[in-house]
């Protein structure tokens, strides 16, 4: 859910919250980066990654892999695909319109722009 586009609480640090495709992890975009949480236990939310940096308004993880797609508020037309465990950017794409959503699966990557 993209909270940045919903005009939510301006004091909140949250910009985006999303489950991965098989609901085994939770991705959270904030004004200071993004975090990934494991949902392997029903009783506990375990943080598995914390990236401090840009204001991330979209973050999508590919199943339980190390691949994430991110879009920042400061560059809303630029999509970055990263390997979060290695801390490397695999590729980035720039588009003429603002990216509204990103969806990943094992065969096709899809995005929506305005």
Distance between CA atoms of residues 102 and 100, nearest Å: 7
Q: Which domains does the chain have, with CATH numbers?
A: 14-103 (2.40.10)
> Is the pTM of the predicted complex or chain greater than 0.85?
no
pLDDT digits (tens, 9 = 90+) for 35-89: 999 998 777 889 999 999 999 999 999 999 999 999 999 999 999 999 999 999 9
**């859910």: which residue's tokens?**
1
Distance between CA atoms of residues 26 and 12, nearest Å: 18
Distance between CA atoms of residues 57 and 42, nearest Å: 26
* 83 strand-pairing partners: 67, 88
Query: 64: which DSSP letter?
Result: T
Which bin fits 28, alpha (ψ -120 to 50), beta or left (φ > 0)? beta
């Amino acid at each position: 859910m993209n909270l940045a586009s919903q005009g939510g609480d301006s004091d909140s640090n949250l910009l985006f919250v999303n489950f991965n495709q098989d609901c085994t992890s939770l991705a959270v975009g904030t004004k200071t980066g993004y975090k990934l949480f494991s949902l392997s236990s029903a009783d506990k939310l375990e943080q598995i990654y914390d990236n401090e940096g840009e204001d991330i308004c979209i973050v999508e993880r590919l199943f339980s892999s190390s691949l994430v797609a991110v879009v920042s508020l400061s560059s809303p037309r630029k999509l970055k695909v990263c390997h979060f465990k290695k801390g490397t950017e695999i590729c980035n794409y720039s588009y003429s319109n603002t990216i509204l959503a990103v969806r990943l699966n094992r065969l096709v990557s899809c995005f929506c722009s305005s």
